Structure 1
Amino acid sequence: MNTPLRRLATMMLVMFVALMGSATWVQFVQASKLNNDPRNVRTLYREFGNPRGPIVAGGTAIASSTKVNDAFGYQRQYASGELYSAVTGYYSVANGRSQLELAANSQLTGRSDQLFFTRIRDLLTGKATEGAAVETTILPAAQQAARTALGNQRGAVVAIEPSTGKILAMVSTPGFDPNALAVHDTAAANAAFQQLNKADGNPLLNKAISDRFAPGSTFKLVTAAAALASGKYTPQTQVPAPLQLTLPNTTATLSNFGGESCGGPTVSLADALRVSCNTAFAQVGLDLGAAAIKAQADKFGFDDPSLTIPMSVVQSVMPAGLDAPETAQSAIGQRDVQATPLQMAMVAAAIANGGVLMRPYLIQTVRAADLTVVSQAQPSTYSQALSSGDAATLRDMMLGVVDNGTGTAAQIPGMQVAGKTGTAETAAGQAPHAWFTAFAPADAPKVAVAVFVEHGGSLGNDATGGAVAAPIAKAVIKAVTGK
């Protein structure tokens, strides 16, 4: 073979290999990515052309698909609209998916590996693919109570069953009506999305799990748990409680809420929690050190970037490597400490459950279209957050908060409620965030709840966690327990 022919043959071989490599890359390596790309019109028509499974709460579909006479075949409908928007999210031909519509998409479309044999059966019988039903752990009465109690205030509520980790309520306000995004008129769906995206309060953001805030004095539960775990403190241990605490190596001072006294120059650890004494807990934080508080926070779930319910949860933060002034401020839930409402519900749930933190989850059962169970949630332990003895001690300290401390607005006749208030300072000139986290009944907990009200809600600068957030928690507890 002469030189020109060899070169031509080599070039043809290189082109053939390149062609085969390109085809293999597109049809095999990138197949999944291309199939799941929301811009893929074929995928879009295939998904909307089959009945998507319902999302269910309390036996009732809160999201379902209805047959329509257009190119897509089925349209998503949301029975209660805004009430469950933090749970369902939206499913839109123009704007994609969010919340459970995104996290459980493979089950809802019927493409999950869990439904492999169902798909084989449908293929053999010629039956069209149907999505599976996703049954949530949400208790409708608790969801409605949380939404009603929040009213026009911006914030979030999360309620958990301490013994299992079931999420009984998850509300974020302002919410939105997913039906406006589910329409097949792409111009109308896009316009609705843009309007929501620009709206005050960011209604498309699930504040319960997708944003984090200074937890304020609710974080004192973490500091108190670290104190008890150290073996150096009991509820009766006297701790310094000055009107102002000078932060080490600075001229800056830290004061109590409203500049008030905590009852004397020293108070017991239990009384410090009961009246939410900043200077006392800042001093406890200094004595324990940042590493001990962070280790305790991590046991409760802080700084975990992999937590899912199955939606991804933004990690709560207790920074490492803090100096002394930063440690004092962090010990009372300020400085750079940040938490989601879900995280603070997890703290209360762990204390309620004898120190064992169960992994939170939102999906209870997945059922195929013929109602056969495809998967069933099994409660699992997330961590041993604190010893059973320390959990019982901290529970009794939290009872004092509600019985005759800062959380009396959460009292329920005939039931003991264990709780902790929080009033978190924010940016200069802005009202504080109001928090409350609690569980009840204290002797046999059925629910742990965290309430977050942004910038004081209806009371603004006059807000406290006890005045604004505690009554909301009370409403949710009553809905769950039937009181």
Structure 2
Amino acid sequence: MNAPLRKAGVVIMVLFALLFANLNWVQAYRADKYRNSDWNSRVQVAEYEVPRGTIEADGKALAESKLTDDALKYLRTYPEKQMYAPVIGYKPVNLGEVGIERSEDEFLSGASDKLFADRVSSMFTGDQPGGGNIVLTLKTKAQEVAWKQMTNNERGAEKGSAIALDPRTGAVQAMVSMPSYDPNPLASHTTKSAAAAYDKLIKDKDNPLLNRSVAETYPPGSTFKVIVSAAALRDGMSQNDEIEAGGSYTAPGSGAPIHNAESETCASSQVTLKEALTTSCNTGYAQLGVKLGADKVKKEAQAWGFEQDDLTVGNLDGSGLPVATSRTGAMQNADGSTDQAALAQSSIGQKDVRMTVMEGALMAATVANGGKQMRPYLVQQELNADRRPIYNASPKTLRTPIDGTIANDLKEMMVSVVENGTGRRARIDGFTVGGKTGTAQNGPNANPHAWFVGFAYNDKGEAVSAACVMLENADGSSVSGEAARIAGLIMKAAAGGGGD
């Protein structure tokens, strides 16, 4: 054999060896990935041979599978369309699931280890078991009221979100994000039309696929004064102690004075802490924050959940919808010293402070629950195909940022906000309501964001709901009052007090 043939033979042998090694590598190490790939059509056909489990709340199906006559036997449908889409998400034929459809995918598809006994049983009975069912914590009446009021708000806001929680357990009673989308076209078996629907949503400048209640942060405005109040109470103040106020305040090192929303708001040189929160006194809280110092303000916020970067809301024993990180910002100069001007602005919820709507709801729920913050969750039960309970949520404490004494002081102060101050529109008959409004500047030429965080007690003294409502770029005057009005109606519906 001549030299060229020997060389060619060696090259061929090396190529065969590489091919053999790659084949074994694929089979041994990559098999599961390819088998479970969203692009594997054989897996897709097999997956659609059995009905995917339902996602439901209050006995109402929010996602279900219906029999078809095409190659994929079952079609995923969403009867309520936009109202629940940010929570439920969707299950597409290609690509991956989102929302609860994603976080509970294994259970819904029937592949979960929790359903192993059902799969073994089917081997003897010959029956093909369907996927497991998910029961959500959502109160459908509260969700309907939240959706209707948010999408028909009186301030022309086209974007925003709302969350209501049970303060005692952390169960999510309502979760709305607008604008939303209809998930049905995205689950179409016609992949071309599904892709076109997805492409249209992705290109929409208003980003309807974003769940604004958990995935976005905003300047919280005066709702952050609850955190600063807690820091002051922890530092030894009482709600009746006086703080420096006045019509204008310029922090050391700043050329820009801080004013109050109205000239008559805390115009006197000193006001009590309770009065400052009731009237939303900017000058008082700016000076209070500077007096406390950046470390105490940031530490207090962190105790309530700011800076947490691993929170999810879904199944308490598993994954869920990721919650964006709420942050206070650095409040520092380049040399590491405290930027007093930034601290003053941060103490009224401006500058670099950013908060999720979920964090706002947790803030109110913590006060209502005596200082104990429960971990929020959406999945109440997992049921097998025969509706036998496999999992029941057992509420868990997330953290305890304040003791009962501080919680009670904050509760009284926040009730005063609703009864005597800026949150009057949150009042609801038959309930004791407390809260805090916020109007957050977010750009020189943009309308402000309108906020309200609050809670409701029934006539038995039970904390039945806590809510946060945020309207982006709300138009008109007293915009936070509209957020308060909507929050009151959501909490009323969540507590079984009727609709709007």
TM-score range, shorter chain: over 0.9
Tell which deviates more after alignment, 185-194 or 134-143.
Answer: 185-194
Deviation beyond 6 Å, 4+ runs, structure 1? 7-17
| Percent of matched pairs sharing the same residue | 39
Runs (5+) with no aligned partner, structure 1? 1-6
Asked if 2 retains the 8 angstrom alpha-carbon contact of 1:256 and 1:279, the reply is: yes
Taking the aligned partners of 1:8 and 1:120, their CA distance within structure 2 comes to 54
Q: Which is worse superposed, 440-449 or 275-284?
A: 440-449
CA-to-aligned-CA distance 1:237-290 (integer Å, 9 cap, x gap): 111112221122222222212455324111111011001111111111111122
| Corresponding position of 1:247 | 251
Matches within 5 A, 1:139-218: 139-152=139-152, 153=157, 154-218=159-223
Aligned residue in 1 for 2:335: none
Aligned to 2:126: 126
How far off its partner does 1:79 sit?
1.4
Q: 1:316 aligns with which of 326, 341, 344?
A: 326
Counterpart check, 1:480 vs 2:494: yes
Cα deviation per residue 1:314-335 (whole Å; 9 max; x = unaligned)? 1111224532221111111111
Structure 2 match to 1:329 = 345
- Match in the other structure for 2:477: 462
Paired position in structure 2 for 1:3: none
For 1:159, what is the secondary structure of its paired residue?
strand
Match of 1:426 among 421, 442, 452: 442
Following the alignment from structure 2 to structure 1, what is the Cα–Cα distance between the partners of residues 169 and 21?
A: 50
Is 473-482 or 432-441 further displaced after alignment?
473-482
- Select the residue among 263, 287, 290 that pairs with 2:291: 287
Cα distance in 1, alignment partners of residues 223 and 31 from structure 2: 47
Which residue of 471, 492, 499 maps to 1:453?
471
Deviations 1:297-352 (A, max 9, x none): 12222111111111111111122453222111111111111111111000011111
Give the CA RMSD over aligned residues. 2.4
Give the superposition deviation at 1:378: 0.9
Q: Which amino acid aligns with 1:377?
A: A
Equivalent residue number for residue 278 of structure 2? 274
Contact 1:407 1:419 (8 Å CA) reproduced? yes
Would you say the 8 A contact 2:38–2:44 is kept in 1?
yes
1:412-443, Cα deviation, whole Å (9 max, x unpaired): 23321011001010111000000001101173
Q: Rate the CA distance shift 1:292–1:27 in 2: closer, same or farther, 3 A.
A: farther
CA contact (8 A) 1:95 1:193 kept: no
For 1:193 and 1:296, locate their aligned partners in 2 and report how far apart those are by CA, in whole Å: 42
1:8-29, Cα deviation, whole Å (9 max, x unpaired):
9999998787566534542343
Q: Which amino acid aligns with 1:319?
A: G
Matched letter for residue 93 of structure 1: V
**How far does the alpha carbon of each residue in 1:48-76 deviate from its partner, in whole angstroms, 9 at most, with x for none?**
23211100111121100001111111101
Give the conservation status (yes or no) of the 8 Å contact 2:39–2:95. Answer: no
Whole-Å Cα distance in 2 between the matches of residues 200 and 320 of structure 1?
30
Q: Could you tell me which amino acid in structure 1 is paired with residue 289 of structure 2? A: G
Say if 1:209 and 1:313, in contact at 8 Å, map to a contact too.
yes
Aligned to 1:86: 86
List per-residue Cα deviations over 1:357-401 (Å, max 9, x = no partner). Answer: 000000010011021211111100100111111001100000100
Maintained 8 Å contact 2:91/2:187: yes
After TM superposition, the structure 1 = structure 2 runs for residues 344-363 of structure 1, keeping only pairs within 5 Å, are: 344-363=360-379
Q: Which residue of 2 aligns with 1:44?
A: 44
Could you tell me which residue of structure 2 aligns to residue 409 of structure 1?
425
- d(CA) in 2 for partners of 1:27 and 1:115? 27
1:265 to 269, 272, 277: 269
Alignment CA distance shift 1:27-1:313 (3 Å): farther
Aligned partners of 1:11, 1:109: CA distance in 2, in Å?
Answer: 47
Q: Distance in 2 between matches of 1:236 and 1:415?
A: 25
Q: Is the 8 A contact 2:246 2:267 kept in 1?
A: no
Q: Take 2:447 and 2:81, find their aligned partners in 1: how far apart are those partners?
A: 30
More moved, 209-218 vs 248-257: 248-257
Contact 2:107 2:131 in 1 (8 A): yes
* TM-score under structure 2 length normalisation: 0.90
Q: Which residue number corresponds to residue 359 of structure 2?
A: 343
Paired amino acid for 1:471: R
More off after superposition, 26-35 vs 370-379: 26-35
Instruction: List aligned pairs for 1:392-407, cutoff 5 A.
Output: 392-407=408-423
Q: CA deviation at 1:462?
A: 2.6
Q: Do residues 74 (structure 1) and 84 (structure 2) align?
A: no
3-state secondary structure, aligned to 1:344: helix
* 1-structure distance, mates of 2:387, 2:119: 14
1:31 & 1:358 partners in 2: Cα distance? Answer: 41
AA aligned to 2:44 is: L
**Matching residue of 1:383:** 399
